[in-house]
Chains A and B, each alone.
Chain A
Amino acid sequence: MTTTKDQGADHGAATGAVAAGSPASDAFAHQPLWKVRLALWRRSLGKTWGLFRENKMGMFGLGLILLFACMAIAHPILMATVWDPKIYDPVTGYSAVELQFVIVEGEPTDPSTQISLQEARLRLNPTVKVGQTVTIPVQPAPPSLKGPNPHLLGTDPQGRDILSQLLYSTRAAFFLGAVAALTTVLIATTVGSIAAYFGGFIDGSLMRLSDLILLMPLLPVLILVSALFEINMVMLGLMIGVLGGFGGVAIVLKAQALSVKVKSYIDAARVAGGTHWHIVLRHIIPNVLPLSFLYMMFGVTEAIAIEATLSFFGLLNVPMTWGIMINTAQNNGYLLSGTSYWWLLFPAGLAVTFLCFGFFLVGRGMDEVINPRLRAR
């Protein structure tokens, strides 16, 4: 869709001289076709990239995504090399600095070795007695670089490393986002293209289906489904993808496909003898795809946010995600601790927000590439 009508004035002559400034294409001649295609693909990508690069916010978003991608890759590497799984496993790991105190009546005279009964009861449990020596694990522990097993982002209320959880969950977020977004795009592109191209009864029934799915508010439906059935990440991704793909995105993509359908190159393809299948696959879908990719970005955002919300309500049975991390903080009552337990809330909360932010910004950046009118003049 990067065509604009004002490009390249005809030079009048029938010589067909190559427009000045264009790279010579004869380099392609006598090369295997797939190589040519690859080079072409790279070139068009390069052009899109050039346009995209001008979009500062889009670039910022891409930077964010890359950062998260690095994080996702880092986790298995760290687990295999630096981190001891017993301590750093995001779900079953445990480590805490343990402090020993003697329980005394009244106020302790030496706070480093003594602890009052009342404090000990609150910190541990109501069964402790005066005179007992107790071990109090510091968890959630604040971030620290000290010790043989440092916790750069501290530990959660169960003594698990926050950084490890954060990195591990990044992978889950990407995975879920990818499943949901790919499903969305696959369905929406197919449905939109087919509905637009064939029209009539097929269009009518597909669009009524879209209306119906639009009617289903995503979050409540998913909450009900997660209550009725056990769902895992793949199913969640698929469901978000299907509901999202049949709904609004299909309608948007159908509109796009309709505008493609009336172009005369579709007629040209028919006159050439192209089948419906050929036309949909070769002409309509490729022209709808850029917009699909745009919605794919938004789809990722939506999937991550929904997963986090469902986890926040404790409705998902998954080992560890950002939502579960926030849920853990909330379940343990640290959510409103202001900034004193910031590492419990901010890493996960900001990770959800920033990854969504990143994908959204890239989506918007792509939107401006696809839709030149939005570009700053």
Chain B
Amino acid sequence: MAMMSATTRWLRLGALFAVVAMLVTACGPSGTSPSAVASAPASQAPTSEPPASEGPTGDLGTYKLGIFQDVETDNQWASADTSQNTVWNAYFLSPMTGSLYGTFMPGIEFGPVMADGDLQPTVAEGDKWIGTMKLRSGMLWSDGEPVTAADVAFTWHTVVSKDKGGVELLGPWQDFADEDVVDNVEATDDLTVKVTYNSQPGLAVWGPGTGVPQIPIMPEHYWKDIVADALTQDDPRTVLLAASGAEAPSLGATMFKDRQAGSFAASDPNPNYYDKGAEITSGGVTWTEGPYATAFQYTLYGGQDAAVLALANGEVDLLLNPLGMQRGFQDQVKENKDLTAIVNPTNGFRFLAFNHSRAPMSDHYFRDALTALIDKEFLTGNLLQGVAFPLYVILPEGNVNWYNKEVADQLATEGYAGLDTATRRKTALDLLTEGKYTWETAPTIDADGNFTPGSGIIGPDGKKIGTLRLISPTASYDPLRATAAAYIAGVAQDMGIDVVAVPTDFGKIIDIVFATNDKNEYTADYDMFILGYSLGSAAFPTFHCSFYCTTGDSNNTKYSSAAFDAAADTFNKAQTIEEAYNAMWEMEKLIAKDKPHVPLFDTGILEFYSNRVAYPFTDTLSGLQFINGNPSAVTAAK
């Protein structure tokens, strides 16, 4: 997730992101990682000329973006497979692709991208369910070939498992090829895609969630022979991933031009971009798609220091980083008239996790008491210098379409928001007493409200609770989480609970908390930890089940609740947004009550760009990096 704020050697952040991407893809958000290509509503017929009324008519020259790790591939298959699924590859390659449907920013609306018209509900046909999508007519690949429904079918058939005759790509590709649900994808004519389901699909797979409507479309005429050749080999996946995609035609605003390892990647504007010149409205902002740049250049920097200097020098226009920029640069940027800093909420959260398979964390009295002790307002407002804001639900507030302020506020109150220290201690003491906990030296609150710390808490079973280790990232990796861990350990110690914050190397935390046994089950060999998640799709948040369902891919806290599993099932099978919305908030309530994770706080994402360029909008969830720096609509500033 974007634990941006003050951190960090972002080299390692790449790792963080990779891990998070893995988790996130496991819960099935939209395709090529954080990108969601903005594009025109289907009703809008593409016009060849951008409207003259828009100030800048184009010549931006080269749009120069700063990146922090190498673009490792030019192969679209690889960049959406686990092997090359880095955010850096996505920044460069995502703007070259397109899908039938997708999420529009900044409004976070799901809608048709290359499809003609909104997505229609599936229809029953025998024991199968059929979904039909139509492509807009007249769209061309960058090499001039027409875009057809066969391309969509080809893509799906390439991705699927060997049993179904595919190459079996991994990671994000699998979201589009859930073979338990999807039976087949075929082109009934040049522009019509027919998807056959085994059962009635919910919105989670047919619609805004994941699934065939959002699969990135690959050019059959280019890849057909390569895929056919790969399928004859022992390991077709490796063969396909190793193939060069430099010559492959593009759909999106850019197309591949050049790549020098260790230095830069470059692309050109795609003359046949499907939305070229289209007027798009999203979240109340209207703009005309370009691209207005004559070239796109992605330059590699070794660190933010050098990159900000380069930005100030005019060598780049925008710095792309999934974690945003470090706050200390703010003043430098503010003093520089040529630069602008923006901050946006992120699609993620940082949390405290309890191991539900180990006492006393398995006891809800204990979890509640510890949660009651944590003054998130004090933590974020004072200790974390106000750059973080407290969270009481998992879904971030920045996801405006899904956020339910009423329920969130209610859960905040239930989650002990706004209490003073004395009340918190009293609450915790009451909870623990009620849960039959005793102490060697009990903490006491006298009549005047004076608090005396206790020590040596003893569990309901009469056994002394030893030291509990709270694993958190080190201060040098993320000072926010390290500080939070120290704070939590401190308030717990006052209550006689021997919680020790153990600052641990990030990679080691991952190794510990995601350790699995032979049967691929999480071993959960820890007491508590603090980490963060970045969340994939904002238009249809599908991550809850992955984190908290009994069989969830990323449920490493061993939390198990029949009520929650049922709510998650309802969500997955929902046929309407409202149904999904209600199911999701049902899940949120259960999470708030059972506390597998206690959401702690989140921060904004800070980004810098040069005033040479102008964007149609900059207030957008997770910032400009979430839309790859918006290469299709960026213009020269007036």
Chain A residues within CB distance 8 Å of chain B: 91-92, 94, 96, 121-127, 134-137, 139, 157-159, 227, 230, 311, 313-314, 316-317, 319, 324, 327-338, 340-341
Chain B residues within CB distance 8 Å of chain A: 6-9, 12, 304-305, 308-309, 325-332, 334, 341, 343-345, 381-383, 385-389, 397-398, 474-477, 479, 483, 486, 490, 503-505, 507-508, 603-604, 606
**List of A residues within 8 angstroms of B328 by Cβ:** 157, 329, 332-335, 337, 341
Which of A124, A134, A332 sits near B326, CB closer than 8 Å? A332
Q: Is the CB of B398 within 8 A of A94?
A: no
Q: Is the CB of A333 within 8 A of B386?
A: no
Q: Shortest Cβ distance from A126 into chain B, in angstroms?
A: 4
Alpha-carbon gap, A159 to B388, bound state (A): 15
Q: Shortest Cβ distance from A270 into chain B, in angstroms?
A: 55
Q: Shortest Cβ distance from A139 into chain B, in angstroms?
A: 5
18 further interface pairs, Cβ-Cβ under 8 Å (given A124-B389, A333-B325, A334-B328): A92-B486, A121-B343, A122-B341, A125-B343, A125-B603, A125-B604, A127-B389, A135-B381, A135-B386, A137-B382, A158-B483, A314-B12, A317-B503, A317-B504, A317-B505, A332-B326, A335-B305, A337-B331
Alpha-carbon gap, A96 to B387, bound state (A): 14
**List of B residues within 8 angstroms of A126 by Cβ:** 343-345, 398, 604
Known: A230-B505, A331-B7. A314 touches B476 (CB 8 A): yes
Q: Is the CB of B8 within 8 A of A331?
A: yes
Alpha-carbon gap, A82 to B7, bound state (A): 32
Alpha-carbon gap, A91 to B388, bound state (A): 20
Alpha-carbon gap, A350 to B190, bound state (A): 70
Q: Shortest Cβ distance from A318 into chain B, in angstroms?
A: 9
**List of A residues within 8 angstroms of B345 by Cβ:** 125-127
Q: Which chain A residue lies CB-closest to B505?
A: A317
Alpha-carbon gap, A137 to B397, bound state (A): 24
Interchain residue pairs A-B with the least CB separation, the first 6: A333-B326, A333-B328, A334-B328, A314-B476, A126-B604, A333-B329
Q: Is the CB of B476 within 8 A of A125?
A: no
Subset of 6 A-B contacts with CB under 8 Å: A94-B382, A135-B386, A328-B475, A332-B328, A336-B332, A341-B328
Alpha-carbon gap, A336 to B325, bound state (A): 14
Alpha-carbon gap, A139 to B475, bound state (A): 17
Which of A121, A230, A311 sits near B604, CB closer than 8 Å? A121
Q: How many A-B residue pairs have CB under 8 A?
A: 117
**List of A residues within 8 angstroms of B344 by Cβ:** 126
Alpha-carbon gap, A183 to B482, bound state (A): 33
Which of A94, A121, A137, A331 sits near B476, CB closer than 8 Å? A331
Which of B304, B475, B479, B490 sits near A333, CB closer than 8 Å? B304
Q: Is the CB of A96 within 8 A of B385?
A: yes
Q: Is the CB of B9 within 8 A of A313?
A: yes
Q: Is the CB of B385 within 8 A of A125?
A: no
Q: Shortest Cβ distance from B141 into chain A, in angstroms?
A: 39
Q: Is the CB of B474 within 8 A of A122?
A: no
Q: Which chain B residue lies CB-closest to A316?
A: B476
Which of B6, B8, B490 sits near A314, CB closer than 8 Å? B8
Alpha-carbon gap, A123 to B328, bound state (A): 11
Q: Shortest Cβ distance from A3 into chain B, in angstroms?
A: 51
Q: Is the CB of A324 within 8 A of B6?
A: no
Q: Is the CB of A122 within 8 A of B476?
A: no
**List of A residues within 8 angstroms of B483 by Cβ:** 158
Alpha-carbon gap, A253 to B328, bound state (A): 48
Alpha-carbon gap, A227 to B507, bound state (A): 9
Q: Which among A136, A157, A331, A335 has the highest number of chain B CB atoms within 10 Å? A: A331
Q: Which chain B residue lies CB-closest to A311?
A: B476
**List of A residues within 8 angstroms of B332 by Cβ:** 336-338
Alpha-carbon gap, A333 to B341, bound state (A): 14
Q: Which chain A residue lies CB-closest to B9?
A: A314
Alpha-carbon gap, A332 to B325, bound state (A): 9
Known: A327-B476, A328-B476. A122 touches B330 (CB 8 A): yes
**List of A residues within 8 angstroms of B334 by Cβ:** 122
Q: Is the CB of A324 within 8 A of B606?
A: no
Alpha-carbon gap, A96 to B486, bound state (A): 18
**List of B residues within 8 angstroms of A332 by Cβ:** 6, 326-328, 479
**List of B residues within 8 angstroms of A139 by Cβ:** 385
Alpha-carbon gap, A122 to B340, bound state (A): 11
Q: Which chain A residue lies CB-closest to B396?
A: A127
**List of A residues within 8 angstroms of B398 by Cβ:** 126-127
Q: Shortest Cβ distance from B375 into chain A, in angstroms?
A: 14
Q: Shortest Cβ distance from A8 into chain B, in angstroms?
A: 60
Q: Which among A123, A124, A341 has the highest number of chain B CB atoms within 10 Å? A: A124
**List of A residues within 8 angstroms of B505 by Cβ:** 227, 230, 317
Q: Which among B334, B385, B486, B604 has the highest number of chain A CB atoms within 10 Å? A: B385
Q: Which chain B residue lies CB-closest to A119?
A: B334
Q: Is the CB of B479 within 8 A of A127?
A: no
Q: Shortest Cβ distance from B502 into chain A, in angstroms?
A: 9
Q: Shortest Cβ distance from B376 into chain A, in angstroms?
A: 13
Alpha-carbon gap, A136 to B380, bound state (A): 12
Q: Shortest Cβ distance from B516 into chain A, in angstroms?
A: 21
Q: Is the CB of B8 within 8 A of A124?
A: no
Q: Which chain B residue lies CB-closest to A96?
A: B385
**List of A residues within 8 angstroms of B7 by Cβ:** 331
Q: Is the CB of A314 within 8 A of B388?
A: no
Q: Shortest Cβ distance from B492 into chain A, in angstroms?
A: 15
Alpha-carbon gap, A158 to B7, bound state (A): 12
Q: Which chain B residue lies CB-closest to A158?
A: B479
Known: A92-B486, A96-B385, A124-B387. A333 touches B476 (CB 8 A): no
Alpha-carbon gap, A96 to B343, bound state (A): 23
Q: Which among B325, B476, B508 has the highest number of chain A CB atoms within 10 Å? A: B476
**List of A residues within 8 angstroms of B343 by Cβ:** 121-122, 125-126
**List of B residues within 8 angstroms of A335 by Cβ:** 305, 328
Alpha-carbon gap, A225 to B381, bound state (A): 38
Q: Shortest Cβ distance from B585 into chain A, in angstroms?
A: 20
Q: Which among A94, A123, A135, A158 has the highest number of chain B CB atoms within 10 Å? A: A158
Q: Shortest Cβ distance from A102 into chain B, in angstroms?
A: 15
Q: Which chain B residue lies CB-closest to A157?
A: B6
Which of A91, A94, A135 sits near B383, CB closer than 8 Å? A94
Q: Shortest Cβ distance from B576 into chain A, in angstroms?
A: 29
Alpha-carbon gap, A23 to B345, bound state (A): 81
Q: Is the CB of B385 within 8 A of A159?
A: yes
Q: Shortest Cβ distance from A107 into chain B, in angstroms?
A: 14
Q: Is the CB of B382 within 8 A of A331?
A: no
Known: A157-B328, A329-B328, A331-B7. A125 touches B381 (CB 8 A): no
Q: Is the CB of B388 within 8 A of A336?
A: no
Q: Is the CB of A124 within 8 A of B386?
A: yes
**List of B residues within 8 angstroms of A316 by Cβ:** 476
Alpha-carbon gap, A137 to B381, bound state (A): 9
Q: Which chain B residue lies CB-closest to A313?
A: B9
Which of B6, B305, B486, B606 sits near A336, CB closer than 8 Å? B305
Q: Shortest Cβ distance from A314 into chain B, in angstroms?
A: 4
**List of A residues within 8 angstroms of B329 by Cβ:** 333
Alpha-carbon gap, A314 to B506, bound state (A): 11
**List of B residues within 8 angstroms of A121 by Cβ:** 343, 604
Alpha-carbon gap, A137 to B309, bound state (A): 27
**List of B residues within 8 angstroms of A336 by Cβ:** 305, 308-309, 332
Alpha-carbon gap, A365 to B332, bound state (A): 43
Alpha-carbon gap, A338 to B336, bound state (A): 13
**List of A residues within 8 angstroms of B383 by Cβ:** 94, 158
Which of A127, A317, A333 sits near B308, CB closer than 8 Å? A333
Q: Which chain A residue lies CB-closest to B344?
A: A126
Q: Which chain A residue lies CB-closest to B602?
A: A125
**List of A residues within 8 angstroms of B341 by Cβ:** 122
Alpha-carbon gap, A283 to B187, bound state (A): 93
Alpha-carbon gap, A316 to B475, bound state (A): 10
Q: Is the CB of A137 within 8 A of B308?
A: no
Q: Is the CB of A314 within 8 A of B304?
A: no
Q: Is the CB of B326 within 8 A of A331?
A: yes
Q: Which among B326, B397, B507, B603 has the highest number of chain A CB atoms within 10 Å? A: B326
**List of B residues within 8 angstroms of A134 by Cβ:** 386
Alpha-carbon gap, A200 to B572, bound state (A): 78
